[in-house]
Amino acid sequence: MFATLIALIQKYILRRWLPFLIILVLAVYAFVDVAGDVWLQEGFEWDVPIMQIIHSFSTPALDNFFIFVTHTASPWLIIPFIAVCLWLWYQKQIYRMILLIVSVLGNGLINAILKAIFERPRPDVFEPLLSESSYSFPSGHTMAAVAFYGVVAVFLWQDKQRLAAVISGVWVMLVALSRVYIGVHYPSDVFASFALGVAWVALILLNDQRRAAREGAMKTKMDNKVD
């Protein structure tokens, strides 16, 4: 009995829960650290220089590319979101579909609340490629990218679709970069938003691991009874 308990701890807590717990704690810390300075309106010395460096590489081709990338995490995200949900439903992966829905919708609610709280103005370092009327902190596009493409990347990785998972994960980074490139967010907005998005996704996936651990424990118990 004791050996079985140790095996369960090693298999489900240390191997599955611990990574998500570590990611959750680090991501929350990173967000709170930046958010505190934003709230105090202290500013970040590295925001403007980074924006200027990124802007120095701008070309018409890159402009079009990053505008396209940023639109993939705009309200147009509803198209791939619905498509993936329908695919998961067709594949009878209902729990995954629910996790994705909670991830995306919960993320949107969190972002709307935080924007209303912080009310950080948009940057005016250079003329932005797109016009945005909402507040700057946190970046809704970056959080949406993590909530959707990030979760899809995890699902793909779990299914051993490594290349597709990496592409989905890289797309999150491209969306984050696009927000700075087109001039509508400070790098600090994007960094904090990425951290918050990761924390939210880690919390959701941690719950998924708890479910998997519970099912694994029940299966092990049933196997022991059969033996």
The DSSP element (H or E) to which 155 belongs, if any, is: helix 151-158
Per-residue burial over 154-174, b = 16 or more CB atoms within 10 Å of its CB, e = otherwise: bbbeeeeeeeebeebbebbeb
The pLDDT of residue 192: 94
- Spatial distance between the Cα atoms of 222 and 214, rounded to a whole number of angstroms: 12
The pLDDT of residue 171: 96
The pLDDT of residue 41: 80
pLDDT digits (tens, 9 = 90+) for 81-98: 999 999 999 999 898 899
Q: Which of 207, 219, 83, 196 is nearest to 150 (CA)?
A: 196
Confidence of residue 80 (pLDDT cuts 50, 70, 90): very high
- Spatial distance between the Cα atoms of 137 and 135, rounded to a whole number of angstroms: 6
pLDDT digits (tens, 9 = 90+) for 163-180: 999 999 999 999 999 999
Is 161 in a helix, a strand, or coil? coil
Whether pLDDT at 75 is above 90: no
pLDDT digits (tens, 9 = 90+) for 180-204: 999 999 999 999 999 999 998 888 8
- Spatial distance between the Cα atoms of 27 and 21, rounded to a whole number of angstroms: 10
Confidence of residue 141 (pLDDT cuts 50, 70, 90): very high
User: How many helices (DSSP H) and strands (DSSP E) are in the chain?
Assistant: 10, 0
